[in-house]
Amino acid sequence: MNRSRISLVTLAQQAIAEVLGAGEHAVDATAGNGHDTVFLARTVGAAGRVTALDIQPNARAATRRRLQEHDLLAPVQLIASGHETMADHVAGPIRAAMFNLGYLPGGDKTVTTRAETSLRGLAAACRLLAPGGRISVMVYTGHPGGDAEHDAVLRFLGGLDDNWRWQRANPPGLPASAPQLFLLDLGKH
């Protein structure tokens, strides 16, 4: 794959598609405008499950509309809660999870993810992930608290045990201000 010519969103989705298949369970930890939820629903198909979480009613409404447009509502459960409550709503194991940390594109830029809740969500996803599964974490830093959240995610990743492999997956040549894509893989036990 030529990483220098594709968007980070596409790169994240391609990385998840490598480990996620029909009939499996995935989580969109930050439903946002529904792009990743649609991708996950297509990937798992009617026999699979997608749990999508978001605290913002307008984000859930946008996600629902996008799913309806693509006739993909059936495998998706939309949860009116933050990713830090994932373990309350998801029974593992899951095969994949996707996080987009920052603010809702086109939404209220004062409503953002926060390091403390994002780390709880990441920890929950790590506990729920099946061996051989993958988590993508896109960190947008262009908002107050974004740099601190990025640094907290890096500390979290650095503290993972030897069962985990992680990488920063940004293609070369992106500016330092670009979002940062991290991929976490749980080894097969």
Angle at CA 118, nearest 5°, toward 116 and 119?
Answer: 65
Q: Which two tokens stand for residue 24?
A: 């499996």
Position 147 pLDDT exceeds 60: yes
Give the pLDDT score at 4. Answer: 43
For 131, other C-beta atoms within 10 Å of its C-beta total 12
pLDDT at residue 162 is higher than 50: yes
Domains and CATH numbers, the chain: 3-186 (3.40.50.150)
Name the 3-class secondary structure at 122: helix
Three-state secondary-structure class, residue 12: helix
The partner residues of 91 in beta bridges, in order of sequence, read none
Cβ–Cβ < 8 Å for 31, 78: yes
Residues 134 and 21: their CA atoms lie apart, in Å, by 12
Whether 110 shows a pLDDT value over 80: the answer reads: no
For residue 93, cis peptide bond before it (omega within 30 degrees of 0)? yes
Residue 34 has pLDDT above 70, yes or no: yes
Q: Is the pLDDT of residue 180 over 80?
A: yes
pLDDT digits (tens, 9 = 90+) for 40-76: 999 999 999 999 999 999 999 999 999 999 999 999 9
pLDDT band, very low/low/confident/very high, at 189 (cuts 50, 70, 90): low
User: What is the Cα 160 distance to its own chain's centre?
Assistant: 18
Q: How many C-beta neighbours within 10 Å does residue 33 have? A: 19
% of the chain residues with pLDDT over 90: 77
